[in-house]
Amino acid sequence: MASIHRTPLIAGNWKMHLTVKEAGELAAAIKKGLDPDLKHEVLLAPTFTNLHAVKEAIAGSKMFLSSQDVCWEEKGAFTGAVSPAQLLDAGCTHAIIGHSERRKIFLETDEVINKKMKAAIKAGLTPVLCIGETLEERESQKTYRVLETQLNGAFAGIPVLDVAKVIIAYEPVWAIGTGKTATPQQAQDAHIFVRRQAERIYGKDFALSVRVLYGGSVKADNVDELMAQPDIDGALVGGESLKADKFLRVIHYQPALVR
Ligand code: 13P
């Protein structure tokens, strides 16, 4: 299912790394190395405290700014949380939602993720919804069931008119930070499944247009073959996005080099 054009997106998730100064410098180095004629999109997701520095550093470039999380409430007594409106005010256009580290370490459920999706969409932030199975789930043949449940949960009660801009990131948990990338075929198969689910929930137009990123040990030396897959529309990159030269190679991936 890859018959229409979907603008590729390469996103860097900087997780809980870097000082304000380091984040600003890294963003500036990436901006400097960007091909001015780049046709696809680039997104940087620093920690909350580094959003401002990165916003300043990428001003005037075609890069977008994302948070790594968002609260579902608009304002009030929610110590430690950041609202969608505050993220927009800080220059974010996107918010990562439901990352496996949020699910596992911070015990986020599909219900919470659904509330975050609704709040982000209502405020005009583009969600980058993360889904993915653990190693145990993959080994017990539950991958597709898990992905289906996570997608049903995240999109529950959200009308089709509201999902046009939503981005999905398939991130198998066993591939995150482990150096164990899904093979291009494993990723492609999961992406086809995600697109089929997207069609079941919202119909063919959405399924054909929704961008599905792959995440999990994407590196400068494996991005070309991943991006050569017809249903992989981009990458959500952790560790490799913290090194300007490596991330620039990821951004400027070259599927044509794949034999
Ligand atoms: P790594 O690229 O470090 O495996 O992290 C992937 C990830 O979790 C991106 O959100």
Q: Does the residue 124 lie in any domain?
A: yes
Mutate to test the pocket of ligand 1, among 9, 10, 13 (most ligand atoms within 8 A of CB): 13
pLDDT tens by residue, 76-113: 999 999 999 999 999 999 999 999 999 999 999 999 99
pLDDT in tens, 27-40: 999 999 999 999 99
pLDDT average, residue stretch 179-186: 91
Closest C-alpha to ligand 1, atom 7: 238
pLDDT of residue 1: 53
For ligand 1, atom 1, name the residue with the nearest CA: 238
**Taking the alpha carbons of 60, 250, 213, 236 in that order, is the dihedral positive or negative?**
negative
- Whether residue 193 is contained in a domain is answered as yes
237 assigned to some structural domain = yes
Q: Which of 135, 212, 217 to mutate to test the pocket of ligand 1 (most atoms within 8 A of CB)?
A: 217
Q: Please tell me the predicted confidence (pLDDT) of residue 72.
A: 98
Would you say residue 25 lies in a domain? no
User: If DSSP codes are grouped into helix, strand and coil, which group holds residue 155?
Assistant: helix
For 219, the domain range is 63-72+81-179+186-253
Q: Does residue 132 sit within a domain?
A: yes
CA 75 to ligand 1 centroid distance, Å: 30
Q: What is the CATH number of the domain that holds 225?
A: 3.20.20.70
Residue 15 lies in a domain: no
Q: What average pLDDT score do residues 245-258 get?
A: 94
Residue with the nearest Cα to atom 2 of ligand 1? Answer: 238
Whether 4 has a pLDDT exceeding 90, the answer reads: no
Q: Tell me the pLDDT band of 12, cut-offs 50, 70 and 90.
A: very high
Residue of 67, 61, 25, 23 lying closest to 41 (CA atoms): 61
Helix locations, 140-183, DSSP H: 143-155
Pairing between strand 234-237 and 211-215?
Answer: parallel
132-148 tens-digit pLDDT:
999 999 999 999 999 99
Q: Is residue 51 part of a domain?
A: no
Half-sphere exposure at residue 167, Cβ-oriented, CA atoms within 13 angstroms: 30
Q: Ligand 1 center to residue 237 CA distance, Å?
A: 5
How many angstroms is it from 238 CA to the middle of ligand 1? 3
pLDDT in tens, 204-219: 999 999 999 999 999 9
Atom of ligand 1 nearest to the CA of 100: 8
d(CA 234, CA 145): 23
Ligand 1, CB cutoff 6 Å, lining residues: 13, 99, 171, 176-177, 215-218, 236-240
Q: How far is the CA of 163 from the centre of ligand 1 (A)?
A: 24
Whether 46 is covered by a domain: the verdict is no
Is the confidence at residue 62, as pLDDT, over 60?
yes
Residue nearest to atom 5 of ligand 1 (CA): 238
Total tally of structural domains belonging to the chain:
1
The Å distance, Cα 154 to ligand 1 centre, comes to 20
Catalytic residues: 99, 171
What are the angstrom distances between the C-alpha of 44 and each of 30, 221, 253, 256? 10, 20, 17, 25
**Residue 169 Cα: closest atom of ligand 1:** 10
| Residue of 171, 174, 213, 219 to mutate, ligand 1, most atoms within 8 A of C-beta | 171
Going from the Cα of 175 to the center of ligand 1, the distance in angstroms, rounded, reads: 8
